[in-house]
Structure 1
């Protein structure tokens, strides 16, 4: 199985929307978005996100369904295949000897250099090259464990600890020696910390990590508050004077929150809209504007027929599939016999999926139905006319492939009819494999169907900003 370091591409690392995927990266002298492209040895591969890809020379590939053998990208026939030179082989039925020769696996047979032998009648002697000899030969009694490794054709690093399999981007690293900061490797130490793509030590003077950005040459008294650097002694908002009473910081200026809104340190008049999308402001009543994880799109030319896939736009009838989890949303070219498992797109003949967990044990005709959660903002205003509520997961138990969830209702139920649940505690039963796993203590949007069943709808929500926006839009729509 392939590995991705949790700090490689995102500050939060597989929890929350990808921070790194919103920004352009550089591949040689060309800019690209890692949400939809990959960079390998200075060459860009379009249509495959670097978040789920590995490199095979200068070409990116999906290691979930493919394997790279000495520069050749091959479609996996099983999750238990490995490379033998430029070809792949099934480890359960074949042996790879000498790095390039594939043999049918037989009982009591093993490798000796480039050939196989029967261990019950022969041995593998190193004198000095590996040779098959009858068991009565003197050299057979001198076979060492090191010879046995060679006989089996084990790779030189097969005895390394699991930590050696960790990757920072596509670069392997040992976390005891190196640390990974959003794809960049630095020397590890107890005092070294990550700040976005940079690193710093706690003993560094005049540096401050604020909202994933490392600032240098700042005053020793500076503090990071709400993503803004403050210097209490003489400045606020990184300005030379304090704002007037009742005004707030917005980038390098002050604003009156009654008339203006601050979006990522950019000031906008509320007449142009009262919701932020990244650094822009928009009117949520405009059906041709769509905010996708901080990116504002105009859908006029698409007649509004598109949906968000993370910070990208998925156009309908474009033969593409969006796979999303609470960490990433990635667009793939649609392929037959492939399904989503969280943000991974897997071949159903190689894998099975249960609660967003991939297992290398395909189960014919038992793949769970497509079940894609969305950020809460992508469900507005569609959910305003449905019986929905915000439920906090208190505990989860598993029984007979059913996931039993105890929920505490923390939000008003059914904005349309203002229905209220008298008992704030709900016991919900879900098919275990179909919906993604739920985390204790996290709050989600749920829907109550006509038959009294409950369905999980959203990724974990923010109890303040997300829920406020949901109620604000839905009540305006109701009014």
Structure 2
């Protein structure tokens, strides 16, 4: 039942980037390519590890870097040449493979770096050096200023009275000439149709472009970019009746089997043993219906953890002293997290989020028995450690009692660092807990599709 969407190839083997990585033709399982780097043929997590000369080492600090095959801290040491590590000293710098005192020596290329006394001829005198590096006022600019009256098309200038620019291509201008992507055509051309930025030639007369698709009256099959016009709809390569069937990624299904798509399959959202995870449909019969989504993967045991942000959901093997920060999984001795932003300064006693935000689909039908609302973030202000959010309630209802909560404006105070970021203009799903305090639940939602889904699923379930 699990779909094959989002598959990539590593040599001749397919894999999912959400749960594995590919390095030089070799697959590393359990670490998503979205958060990994390669060390030779093995993937590693650069947040908590470092690759030095093909060896993966555990980071001792966020300031760790490689010096040959060894790791050093940039705050206490310097690396000279390719693999020589020295204790950091004030006024000391590298010269080839060694360090030198800048107050009494200089580094000369002769032709290899050599340390010499400042009085020797290879070293610039301080005054000469200052003269060469100081800014010369009044010097002419290196590039001429552009002529603002010139219009650019691609890399050429053009006169808009004589020419027209179509996505970087120049054509002779005319009142009847129009652009279609990078091509030009005239309104008097026969059998030409511009559809969704693509110019189609030899198109039958009376053809129409609707929704990015060319409708041709004489055509009775669903092939390529043409499909029938007389009230029929296409699903993949065949027509279907939308009153009795649903189209999922080019596959037609009877609505008796469900009203929602999951990738190319249809499913009944009332069936607790079916779980749709970002286009992948899973059967939970062997799990007694208990599992949750992590992107397009299924999280089904406590040996793994899901870290998610509004852009990604990544599954990791659980490790001690590691926490989620958005979709990253970090070592608390190296990093700290504030509002889903990593900082290279560990704070062992800082608060952390006890839950993660989920896509709305993952919260249904659990939300059907709770007082939830869609709240749009109108304004955000920071005061010490608290984030004050002004919410405009877009749609708010108690699914259980159907009592609409009247106040359209809410003021919410959140601990800034322990809660995910809330962006101005974005809408989220919130819940009013038993104390009447709003709790943030979901990642940003699509108002039209998500409100419909929540309303349809919950009220159909209720009925």
* TM-score, length of structure 1 as denominator length: 0.77
Q: How do residues 33-432 of structure 1 correspond to structure 2 at under 5 angstroms?
A: 33-141=16-124, 191=168, 202-203=181-182, 229-231=213-215, 237-238=222-223, 242-245=228-231, 247-317=232-302, 319-432=303-416
Superposed CA deviations along residues 13-41 of structure 1, whole A, max 9, x for unmatched, are: xxxxxxxx942111111111111111111
The one-character-per-residue Cα deviations of 1:247-277 (angstroms, maximum 9, x if unpaired) are 4332222222221111112111111111111
Match of 1:455 in 2: 439
Structure 1 294/112 Cα, relative in aligned 2: closer, same or farther at 3 Å? same
What secondary structure sits across from 1:468 in the alignment?
Answer: helix
SS at match of 1:475: helix
Give the number of the structure whose alpha-carbon radius of gyration is greater.
2
8 A contact 1:22–1:311 mirrored in 2: no
State the distance in 1 between where 2:336 and 2:108 align: 43
- Equivalent residue pairs, number: 402
1:98·1:114 contact (CA, 8 Å) conserved in 2? yes
1:166 maps to what in 2?
Answer: none
Distance between the aligned counterparts of 1:49 and 1:107, measured in 2?
A: 42
2:361 is paired with a residue of what secondary structure?
helix
- How many Å apart are 1:305 and its aligned residue? 2.0
Aligned with 2:103: secondary structure?
coil
User: Displacement of 1:320 after TM fit?
Assistant: 0.5
2:380 is paired with a residue whose SS is strand
Distance 1:34 1:122, change over 3 A: same
Partners in 2 of 1:61 and 1:464 — Cα distance?
40
Maintained 8 Å contact 1:305/1:316: no
Separation in 2, partners of 1:78, 1:461: 37
Identify which of 435, 439, 456 aligns with 2:423: 439
Deviation of residue 139 (structure 1)?
2.6
Q: CA deviation at 1:462?
A: 1.7
Distance in 2 (CA, whole Å) between partners of 1:410 and 1:40 is 46
d(CA) in 2 for partners of 1:433, 1:265: 44
Of stretches 228-237 and 134-143 in structure 1, the one that deviates more from structure 2 is 228-237
How far apart, CA to CA, are the structure 2 residues paired with 1:475 and 1:84? 63
CA positional deviation for 1:303: 1.5
Q: Counterpart of 2:411 in 1: which secondary structure?
A: strand
TM-score (norm 2): 0.79
Query: Hey, what does 2:187 align to over in structure 1?
Result: none
**8 Å contact from structure 2 (residues 92, 102) kept in 1:** yes
Unmatched segments (≥5 aa) in structure 2: 130-166, 170-179, 185-191
Q: Does the 8 Å contact 2:215/2:227 carry over to 1?
A: no
Contact 1:340–1:370 (8 Å) recurs in 2: no
User: Which region of structure 1 is more displaced relative to structure 2, 431-440 or 120-129?
Assistant: 120-129
Deviating more after overlay: 304-313 vs 64-73: 64-73
CA distance in structure 2 between the aligned counterparts of 1:53 and 1:208, rounded to whole angstroms? 43
SS in 2 for 1:421: coil
Pick closer, same or farther for the CA change 1:337–1:268 going to 2, 3 Å.
Answer: same
